Amino acid sequence: MFTKKKTCGVCGYRVTPTKEEIYVAEEPRGFMDALTKPPMRFSAMDCPRCGCQIALAVRFPRVDLPPITERDDADESEVAEDED
């Protein structure tokens, strides 16, 4: 997943992340931020030497778009005239 070595900001240990070590973390927020803003999530891992959290990449929420609906070119007035 990650090919580059990451460096711990506390002890300076360099480690290559593996899939088994990576987890999703959420940034702590205050009360008002929790009510108004979506949570900031990121991929992270723990340093094997000192145990500090190493942030790897920000995870943005997925945006699901609604399917495009097909519309006929007929106006409502044309449809009403055809029904009479």
* Domain coordinates in residue numbering, the chain: 1-62
Beta-carbon count within 10 A of 6 CB: 16
In degrees rounded to 5, what are phi and psi of residue 5?
-80, 140
pTM score of the predicted model: 0.58
Residues 6 and 61: their CA atoms lie apart, in Å, by 24
Please write the tens of the pLDDT for every residue from 20-60: 889 898 888 888 877 888 888 899 999 888 888 888 888 88
Q: Pull the structure tokens for residue 44.
A: 């992270």
Q: How confident is the model at residue 82 (pLDDT cuts 50, 70, 90)?
A: low
Q: Pull the structure tokens for residue 32.
A: 């008002």
